[in-house]
Chains A and B, each alone.
Chain A
């Protein structure tokens, strides 16, 4: 799977998503590589935050990208951004999986990833890793829609209208979801702060 990194691939790295998708649909293999390299990390990052299960997030990523490859020849340029379309697909795929999960009702807070307990006096990288684990654990406790809105707004850095399009709701609903989600997160994390031993570092 090694492609020669010549000027052509570098030019492709600067091209907009949509242009690459058109090239892909015309049979350009380098465009396939460029799109994969660019989009998979974003899609995986978002899916992993929603699912907090790496293997499941990878499956969702592959499925979302598969749908992109399939729609590429019929893609209507100028109608939607590729990234927004992908976020929407991932959100729907994750929602479907979470519905199945909730139906099983097997997963409770017991299954939330354990927060490492060696915070006090640990090296900086370790503390950072702990903080990320704490954030993921706190996100996992939010209701699904709140988690989606918070992740899209604060971790993927999207605007409220974009999130509204992705989640199929109005912008007021997005604002309400992100505000509530953020409040809950802060409450969960401040509850955990004591346990992690961070309050005496400030």
Chain B
């Protein structure tokens, strides 16, 4: 039985030696396997961009004014102007009287144009 135990020990040593010698594939085999791998590989998954919104007339108008934010600001300013014009709040007339100074009967929008006229006419 001693022989048999020795044989088993030898076998274990042999297994250990065999495990320490991994198979070395040939370059040809590695090439064949790599060729298969690349041939069967799915194409890289593309990052899909979200569909572009339809480009209409309004989109162009909104972009012209600088986007929705700017347009909203302009809209609220216009609404406020319209409101003040209709309501004519008393506080506001006092403020304009204080700034401009009393009732305005005539207002010269181009004050220098009178000075120009005599020079033009011979």
Which chain A residues have a beta carbon within 8 Å of chain B's beta carbons? 1, 24-29, 32-33, 35-37, 40-42, 44-45, 48, 58, 61-62, 65-66, 69-70, 72-73, 128, 131-132, 134-135, 154-155, 157, 182, 185-187, 189-190, 193
Contacts and interface: CB of A to CB of B under 8 A. Distances in A.
Contact of B41 (A32, A134, A155): A32
Contacts of A37: 30
Interface stretch (B7-15, B48-56, B76-84, B96-104): B7-15
10 contacts: A27-B43, A27-B45, A28-B44, A35-B37, A58-B26, A58-B29, A131-B17, A132-B21, A186-B10, A186-B11
A73 B29 contact: no
Given A45-B23, A132-B21, A182 B8 contact: yes
Contacts, number: 102
Contacts of A69: 36-37, 40-41
Contact of B19 (A33, A155, A189): A155
B10 A48 contact: no
Contact of B14 (A35, A66, A189): A189
Given A66-B40, A128-B17, A36 B45 contact: no
Interface residues of B, number: 34
B34 interface: yes
A135 B30 CA distance: 26
A155 B36 CA distance: 28
Given A186-B7, A187-B7, A189-B7, A61 B33 contact: yes
Nearest to B27: A1
